Amino acid sequence: MRLNKTTPVPNAFFDKHISDLSGSAVRVYLKIVRNLLGWRDENGNVKQRDWISHSQFEKTGLSNRSVTNAIQELLDLKLIETSDYTGVNLSSPQQRKQAKRVYYALVQDNHENSALYNEKTKENTTQNMRTTKEISLPKYSANERIPDHIRIEQIKQEQQRKQMQRDSWL
């Protein structure tokens, strides 16, 4: 069963790691979880990694320095991984500062117990999806008519989502 408008957080985070982390590291980790596990494609797959800018982390109420320290804390505890677009590891603050874009990924302890594991297919359901910043939905005002082809696509997607939900009840 999938809960709408929620983001799954790996149990290991609460069970093993939360007591060892600073408040800043918890905020940064949860922002990364939201950007990765909080977005699913039409097949229910989540992102393996996402480009998250420093300014997005600062929206958690942290200073630039606190974000940098929290990211390093999470890297030291091997809860996250950072890389550039090509997948080159960016483990030091200097490397991340010089990189054009920094991509973040979660490190999973036990894949079968993670939020990425699909019980139906018995495999991890990740794929490379567009970054959160690249996802934009068209905005329509209350008085504006949505084009028919867009509305039909919305109805199809809603029906697929409902069918997937019904399938997961079995």
pLDDT in tens, 78-87: 999 999 988 8
pLDDT, tens digit, 9 for 90 and up, residues 48-61: 888 998 888 888 99
Domain 11-136 architecture: Orthogonal Bundle (1.10)
Query: In the beta sheet, which residues pair with residue 123?
Result: 118
Residue numbers in the chain where pLDDT is lower than 70: 1-2, 109-143, 170
Q: Is 123 helix (H, G, I), strand (E, B) or coil?
A: strand
Q: What angle do CA 158, 162, 166 make, to 5 degrees?
A: 170
Please state, in angstroms and rounded to a whole number, the distance separating the CA atoms of residues 39 and 138: 17
Q: How many CB atoms lie within 10 A of CB 134?
A: 9
